[in-house]
Amino acid sequence: MTLASGACKAEVKNELRTLKGPGVCTRLKFLLRLANHMRKEPVMPQGNFKRLLSRRDLLLRGGASALVLTGVSQSDWMAAFAQSITIAATPSETEGPYWVDEQLNRSDIRTDPSTGVVSAGFPLALGITVSRITGGTIVPLSGAYVDIWHCNASGLYSDESANNTVGQKYLRGYQVADAHGNVRFLTIYPGWYSGRTVHIHFRIRLYSGSSTSLNFTSQLFFDESVTTTIFGLSPYAQRPNRDTFNATDMIYASGGSGLMLRLAQDGTYGLSSFHVMLNA
């Protein structure tokens, strides 16, 4: 089963007709990857691409020069969202102790809105698709409010007295799902703190008037080989010797294998995506 639509394929053809200039090679690589995702059977990427690391297409690799975000193209977002899936309800997980309902409607969550300071770290574009499972099929859950929040490269959450960050609001925000159930965020690769593996929290809410009709929370996890690569870069490398990994994390143990992000990169930022499917 694939999420790619006829309109999506038409957009790819249009991109191929209009590509010009020195960025053609990079754009074509992403369009090739998108075309591969549209197929029911996986196709190994050609050229300079590394071999796919499992079905989750973990292609992320980093470099010190990759820490500047220059903008995520429409074709790159298409590549992030297009994927073949198996219908299965997404596991729920605890919201944890650092949830704050900041009500920040924004796509780029890297900054502290009061100061404009951008959180340091490897830039990460995150696309989340939200669907409802109905009669064995999935239907986009448009209008869903999707919050994400996570720690910075130093392992600190914003607006938390325990982290001495009260009043700061970096790495928090929400978006409302479009007609396809999609939301998009620009953030950074999370850091780590004692007792937890690397993760991103998310919450999905639906409203009926002023009442909340759906309130779902869970967490997203990262491939360990990818994290090892990223944590070799600045500023993550300044905090070595993390003490918890996926295999030893108490939350990951309760369903984390079904909450792994799909990852890829183009040399200037990481692309990640996840499809949330709810029995709601």
Q: Does a cis peptide bond (omega within 30 degrees of 0) precede residue 240?
A: no
**What is the reported pLDDT for 269?**
79
- Average pLDDT of the segment spanning 173-186: 96
- DSSP element (H, E) containing 166: none
Q: What is the pLDDT of residues 3-49, one digit of tens each?
A: 334 444 444 444 444 444 444 444 444 444 443 433 332 222 222 22
- DSSP element (H, E) containing 196: none
The CATH H-level superfamily of 6-278 is Aromatic compound dioxygenase (2.60.130.10)
DSSP 8-state class, residue 259: S
Q: What is the pLDDT of residues 227-276, one digit of tens each?
A: 999 999 999 999 999 999 999 999 999 999 999 999 886 656 788 999 99
Q: What is the pLDDT of residues 150-175, one digit of tens each?
A: 999 999 999 999 999 999 999 999 99
pLDDT band at 210 (very low <50, low <70, confident <90, very high): confident
d(CA 192, CA 228): 12
Say if CB 3 and CB 127 are below 8 A apart. Answer: no
User: Which residue do the tokens 């009260």 mark?
Assistant: 166
Q: What is the pLDDT of residues 51-98, one digit of tens each?
A: 223 323 333 322 222 223 335 555 554 555 555 567 899 999 999 999
Q: Where are the domains of the chain?
A: 6-278
What are the structure tokens assigned to 140, written together?
A: 């986009």
**What is the reported pLDDT for 265?**
67
**What is the reported pLDDT for 6?**
46
What are the structure tokens assigned to 104, written together?
A: 């920040």
Q: Quickly count: other Cβ atoms within 10 Å of residue 160's Cβ.
A: 15
Q: pTM score, two decimals?
A: 0.74
User: How far is residue 7 from each of residues 11, 12, 78, 139, 141, measured CA to CA in Å?
Assistant: 6, 9, 11, 17, 19
Q: Quickly count: other Cβ atoms within 10 Å of residue 39's Cβ.
A: 11
- Average pLDDT of the segment spanning 120-139: 94
d(CA 145, CA 214): 10
User: How far is residue 167 from each of residues 37, 65, 107, 162, 164, measured CA to CA in Å?
Assistant: 42, 31, 20, 12, 9
Which amino acid is residue 78, in one-letter code?
Answer: M
